[in-house]
C-alpha cells in the first residue's frame, strides 16, 4: 500500500547512519569521565562504521540523482561479457566464502561480447550481486547465467535465498523502499533503483522472479556485439 511504502521510506531516516553516529559521539562527550578506554574505543569504532555507511549513502544518492537527471549518456563499446562476470566472481569470492555461499557463472560460450557501457554494467551486476549476498543464507548459491537470443544477450543473477514476497515485488525498484520485515543487514534501498535507471539507459529493462524462501532471479538483456 501507499502507506506502507511511505512508512518504509521514512524508516530509512530513523535508521540512517548520521543519527546513529551522532548518538554514539554524544555518548562519548556526555559520559567521557565514566567510560573506560575500551568503552570509548568501542563507541568510536561504531561511530566510524556509521560514518562509512553515511558516505556510501551520499555516494549512492548523488549517483542516482545523476542518472535521473537525463544528462548521462552511456559510453558505448564492445567488450567480452564473461571476462567481466569472472572478474566480479573473483572480487567477491572471499566474501562469499566467509558467508559459506557458492558463486558461479554459466554461459553457452565464453566468446560473447556485448555493446554497452562497461562501467555502468559493472555497477548493475555488482549491485545485484551485493543484493543477492545480503539475502542468501549460509550454504546457498548465487549464479550469473548468460544466454543469447536474436542478437540479444540475456543476463540473469539468481540466488536460492530468502526470496521476496509477492506483494513487495512491484515496489523493490522504488528509491528507499525496504519491506518492514527486512533486517538491518539490508542496504540503503537505492541499489535496485540505480540498477533500473542504468538498464533503462541501455534501452532495456530489468525483470524479477521470486518466491519467499525459494530464491530470486533478476534478468535483463544487452545488445550482442557482432
pLDDT > 70 in the chain, percent:
85
pLDDT of residue 208: 96
17 or 45, greater pLDDT: 45
Report the range of poorest mean pLDDT among 6-15, 75-84, 95-104, 162-171: 6-15
- Global pTM value: 0.75
pLDDT of residue 187: 54
User: Residue 55: CA atoms inside 13 Å, Cβ hemisphere, count?
Assistant: 6
pLDDT of 154 over the 80 cut: yes
**Measuring CA to CA, which residue among 202, 188, 200 is closest to residue 54?**
188
Give the confidence band of 27 by pLDDT, cuts at 50, 70, 90: confident
Helix axes 118-134 and 81-98, enclosed angle (nearest 10): 30
pLDDT (tens digit, 9 = 90+) per residue, 111-147? Answer: 899 999 999 999 999 999 999 999 999 999 999 999 9
pLDDT of residue 49: 77
pLDDT of residue 26: 81
- Cell numbers linked to 138: 549460509
**Measuring CA to CA, which residue among 94, 217, 200, 201 is closest to residue 147?**
217
pLDDT of residue 184: 45
pLDDT of residue 61: 74
110 Cβ contact partners less than 8 Å away, ≥ 6 residues apart: 80, 82
What distance in Å separates the CA atoms of residue 206 and residue 124, rounded to the nearest whole number?
A: 10
Report the range of poorest mean pLDDT among 59-63, 171-175, 200-204: 59-63
pLDDT of 188 over the 60 cut: no
pLDDT of residue 151: 92
pLDDT > 90 in the chain, percent:
53
pLDDT of 14 over the 70 cut: no
What distance in Å separates the CA atoms of residue 155 and residue 137, rounded to the nearest whole number?
A: 23
pLDDT of residue 180: 56
User: Residue 92: CA atoms inside 13 Å, Cβ hemisphere, count?
Assistant: 26
194 or 66, greater pLDDT: 194
pLDDT of residue 72: 84
pLDDT of residue 56: 67
Among left, alpha and beta (phi > 0; psi -120 to 50; other), residue 191 is alpha
Amino acid at each position: 500500500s501507499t502507506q506502507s511504502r511511505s512508512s518504509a521510506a521514512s524508516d530509512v531516516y530513523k535508521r540512517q547512519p548520521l543519527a546513529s553516529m551522532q548518538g554514539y559521539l554524544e555518548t562519548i562527550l556526555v559520559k567521557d569521565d565514566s567510560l573506560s578506554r575500551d568503552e570509548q574505543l568501542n563507541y568510536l569504532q561504531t561511530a566510524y562504521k556509521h560514518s562509512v555507511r553515511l558516505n556510501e549513502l551520499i555516494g549512492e544518492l548523488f549517483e542516482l540523482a545523476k542518472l535521473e537527471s537525463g544528462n548521462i549518456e552511456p559510453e558505448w563499446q564492445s567488450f567480452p561479457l564473461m571476462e567481466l562476470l569472472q572478474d566480479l566472481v573473483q572480487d567477491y569470492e572471499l566474501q562469499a566464502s566467509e558467508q559459506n555461499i557458492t558463486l558461479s557463472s554459466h554461459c553457452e560460450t565464453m566468446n560473447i561480447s556485448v555493446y554497452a557501457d562497461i562501467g555502468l554494467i559493472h555497477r548493475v551486476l555488482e549491485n545485484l550481486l551485493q543484493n543477492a549476498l545480503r539475502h542468501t543464507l549460509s550454504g546457498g548459491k548465487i549464479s550469473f547465467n548468460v544466454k543469447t537470443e536474436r542478437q540479444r544477450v540475456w543476463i540473469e543473477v539468481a540466488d536460492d535465498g530468502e526470496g521476496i514476497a509477492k506483494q513487495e515485488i512491484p515496489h523493490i525498484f522504488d528509491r528507499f523502499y525496504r519491506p518492514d520485515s527486512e533486517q538491518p543487514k539490508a542496504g540503503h534501498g537505492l541499489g535496485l533503483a540505480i540498477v533500473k535507471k542504468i538498464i533503462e539507459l541501455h534501452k532495456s529493462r530489468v525483470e524479477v522472479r521470486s518466491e519467499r524462501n525459494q530464491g530470486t532471479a533478476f534478468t535483463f538483456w544487452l545488445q550482442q556485439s557482432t
